[in-house]
Amino acid sequence: MGEALAGSEVLQRKMSKKQTALQRRKMKRILVWLRNDLRLRDNPMLAAALREADEVIPFYCLEARFFTSLTIGHSKTGAFRKRFLWESLTDLDRQLQEKSSALWVSRGNAAESIYTIHKRFPLDAVYFSREATPEELEVEVAVEKLGIPTRSFWQSTLYHMEGLPFPINNLPWVFTEFRKKAEKQAVVGTEAATPGKIVSPEREESFYLPTWSELGWEEPGQDARAVYPFEGGEAAAWKRLQQYFWQNDSLKTYKETRNGLLGADYSSKLSPWLALGCISPVSVYWEVKEYERQRVTNSSTYWLLFELLWRDFFRFTAIKEGKSFFRIDRGALPEPGEKFEHWRLGETGQPFVDANMKELLHTGYMSNRGRQNVASYLVHDLKQHWYLGAQWFESQLIDYDVCSNYGNWTYVAGIGHDPRKNRYFNVEKQAAQYDPEGKYQKYWNEEE
């Protein structure tokens, strides 16, 4: 993996004279390389391409690296994640076709696929969203080396990186300091315009989105106990937001219910769509503000935005720290053993831990309260390396986000961004507090 750049280097590394020239002239054709930004609404990169080119090619690559094996022996992208991704791509392709375009999809290597398209349909530029971690930055570098002019966009956080009240290399170590400064001095931007008609070349047959059977992926089971029927895609993201905010009026009590374990509305459940960029944090922010205008402004509406700031903090921290963000020595990592396997399968004998791990195993989702407890139990009670747990979450969680996942695991392990070094959760006390009647434990620990 390539080293991540810090501070002003990150902000300036793609703003070359060639890039600036791109923005001054009308171009014939721009390829929009979509990654974790699978949406039409509030997609500044797509909006810019439509302003600046006669034709736009929306492109996504199912990169081989997504489906390699982790050191624990499981795929980086497990069955639940695959299904959610495929549904999101399917929805995006449908929306683009309604705009007279289509999603061009390849498998394997993004740079090679873009060059193949370039040979058939000469490109004036490639636009893409910047990512934060070394592996993703390495893929960007490979695309930049093709010799096609590129322009990058930062559009994965609530606050724009260039609008922060400090350079990235001076990012505060502690979240609270970051939050206070950002809330006081940074400004949330407006949403980018949703496109109308999109003019594109006719998609070639080799770039059609493969069907599920063509991909040959394992079909995950549909567990009737799942907390919510998650479905990938921008349409499903906005359906969920409308349900939670407006139909069920649940936002007004979010702070009181967010530590729940059972039911669809104890939390917003927006994290899977945020992770793939099916909805943007900026869109969520302005929808919260509209809810406050029409319904109520209280600690719950603030708290949902507070959670978005944690996403920002972990992402900006990953940029600042590069490889050190992961805090691992791969040569010293232990092999997953019997204790880890019992934890992974929900067979530790600790009812609260087992219930949460079974929910994850069978649905690809777990509550935030559950995640903190099972992580603490693996690290502090079972004395297992935190990285094993982080990898299992990476494989399983439909809302997996590299920055939030590894930021949270190092936080629990006491080696991340937290002045308190012992993030121990007494799971029995936690169960008594958050599942006092044992309903959640019974729900998941009973035989199917």
Please tell me which residue, 17 or 354, carries the higher pLDDT value: 354
Mean pLDDT, the chain, integer: 92
pLDDT > 70 fraction of the chain, expressed in percent and rounded? 93
How do residues 68-85 score in pLDDT, each as one tens digit? 999 999 999 999 999 999
What single string gives the DSSP state of each residue in 211-266?
A: PHHHHTPPPPP--TT-SS----SHHHHHHHHIIIIIIS--GGGHHHHTT--SSSSS
Q: What pLDDT shows up at residue 448?
A: 53
Q: Which CATH class name applies to 157-187+234-325?
A: mainly alpha
Asked whether the predicted pLDDT for residue 11 surpasses 50, the reply is: no
| CATH entry 3.30.590.10 includes domain 7-156 | no
**Long-range pairs for 345-351: beta carbons < 8 A, 24 or more residues apart:** 346/444, 346/445, 348/377, 348/382, 350/377, 350/381, 350/427, 351/431, 351/438, 351/441, 351/445
Q: Which residues contact 432 (CB under 8 A, 6 or more apart)?
A: none
Segment 31-39 mean pLDDT = 98
Phi, psi of 69 (to 5 degrees): -90, 140
Asked whether the predicted pLDDT for residue 9 surpasses 50, the reply is: no
Q: Which residues contact 270 (CB under 8 A, 6 or more apart)?
A: 237, 240, 241, 244, 279, 284
Confidence of residue 3 (pLDDT cuts 50, 70, 90): very low
How do residues 331-366 score in pLDDT, each as one tens digit? 677 889 999 999 999 999 999 999 999 999 999 999
Segment 378-403 mean pLDDT = 97
Query: What Rg, from alpha-carbon coordinates, does the chain have?
Result: 22
Q: What residues pair up with 58 in beta bridges, in sequence order?
A: 32
Q: Which CATH architecture has domain 334-445?
A: Orthogonal Bundle (1.10)
Asked whether the predicted pLDDT for residue 20 surpasses 90, the reply is: no
Q: 205's torsion region: left (phi>0), alpha (psi -120 to 50) or beta?
A: alpha
C-alpha distances (whole Å) from 278 to each of 38, 54, 237, 248, 444 are 5, 25, 7, 22, 30
Segment 49-60 mean pLDDT = 97
Q: What pLDDT shows up at residue 24?
A: 54
d(CA 214, CA 382): 41
Asked whether the predicted pLDDT for residue 420 surpasses 70, the reply is: no
Segment 191-215 mean pLDDT = 96
Confidence of residue 327 (pLDDT cuts 50, 70, 90): confident
Confidence of residue 447 (pLDDT cuts 50, 70, 90): low
d(CA 413, CA 214): 41
How do residues 229-250 score in pLDDT, each as one tens digit? 999 999 999 999 999 999 999 9
pLDDT > 90 fraction of the chain, expressed in percent and rounded? 88
Q: Which residues contact 280 (CB under 8 A, 6 or more apart)?
A: 37, 39, 41, 42, 43, 155, 191, 274
Q: Give me the residue spans of the domains in the chain.
A: 7-156, 157-187+234-325, 334-445
